[in-house]
Amino acid sequence: MAISVRGVSKTFGDYTALSPIDLEVENGSLTAILGPSGSGKSTLLRVIAGLEKGDTGSVFISGHDATKVPPHRREVGFVFQHYAAFKHMTVAKNIAFGLEIRKRSKAEIKQRVADLISLVQLDGFGDRYPSQLSGGQRQRMALARALAVEPEVLLLDEPFGALDARVRKDLRDWLRRLHDEVHVTTVFVTHDQEEAMEVADTIVVMNHGRIEQIGAPEDVYEHPANEFVMGFMGRVNRIGNALVRPHDIEIRLEPNGITREARVERVVALGFEVRVELVLPDGSPVSAQITRDESKRLRLAPGDSVYVRPSASRVFAGV
């Protein structure tokens, strides 16, 4: 295991950031820790890096007990949401920082910095200062800086959180490709389930300082362990005590015995998909997601009466 977290807990005053947590991260994997703000996901990452000390428990990195190892000797790479660029240094100097600290030879540093600059596609930017770069470029520089010292694990704390939507999407794809290239065990924290599904091969869902579920993206989406996970992984409707995804709602113009009546409130075209807002006779709202073709066939308009049925739904105990 690249990282083992055993029984780590952490409180800040009265606030419990982490209830005792156990987590195993496999060598070479790309893991997302997903959760809402205040779920403890960043704290967990910072405890792994040694930037925060857990109240209890231990952290193992590559099989060694790192609990009492100070952060500068843990051999982890850490990337911050707001880049943490060294503002008074050029891009090349930023990337060279860890190598200079380790007193590598000038020739080696020069070679390694050049390699990393092209790895993160910042060729020609070596002499610029961070203030002369865009957000996406700064974050790529920060990644190169973290990778320069060949860390055992790479930890990213909401790495794309401060970037605009398009850059964020590009960087996600790029991070995925980068990981396939360098194979370093990577853990990133995010509150964006789409980002987690798209980039990671394992998702750890956290809430209130606990791990709710660990699994492959499809697993967590298709077989959520509880209501929280189901709700966090995508939109859900509540029909009676069952939870239904919008794309699992079938809309018919005629009843077929197992359907319920509903009234169309609003039809929103979102390109390929169409979202239909419905209201059941008891007043509860239901949101359905259908394809554009389906929508054309049904010709729905606000005020229409239709018949709906969940084609798949889940009921969780204790709801």
Binding positions for another protein, rule: CB under 8 A: 49-51, 71-78, 80, 82, 84-88, 97-98, 101-102, 129, 131-132, 142, 145-146, 148-149
H, E, C per residue of 220-258: HHHCCCCHHHHHHHCCCEEECCEEECHHHEEEECCCCCC
Look-up of token digits 């205040």: 38
What is the CA 189 to chain-centroid distance, rounded?
Answer: 5
Read off the tokens for 216: 């492959």
Q: Give the shortest CB-130-to-another protein separation in angstroms.
A: 10
Read off the tokens for 311: 């084609």
Q: Closest CB to another protein among 40 and 98? A: 98
Q: Closest CB to another protein among 142 and 244? A: 142
Q: Closest CB to another protein among 50 and 224? A: 50
Alpha-carbon dihedral 27, 30, 35, 39, rounded to 10 degrees: 30
Q: Give the shortest CB-87-to-another protein separation in angstroms.
A: 7
Q: Closest CB to another protein among 154 and 205? A: 154
Q: Give the shortest CB-187-to-another protein separation in angstroms.
A: 13
Q: Closest CB to another protein among 95 and 203? A: 95
Rounded CA separation 11/18 (Å): 7
- Tabulate helix, strand, coil % of the chain (nearest 5): 30, 30, 35
CA pseudo-torsion sign 262, 267, 270, 271: positive
Q: Closest CB to another protein among 52 and 227? A: 52
Q: Give the shortest CB-148-to-another protein separation in angstroms.
A: 8
Q: Give the shortest CB-89-to-another protein separation in angstroms.
A: 8
Which amino acid belongs to residue 60?
Answer: F
Q: Give the shortest CB-242-to-another protein separation in angstroms.
A: 45
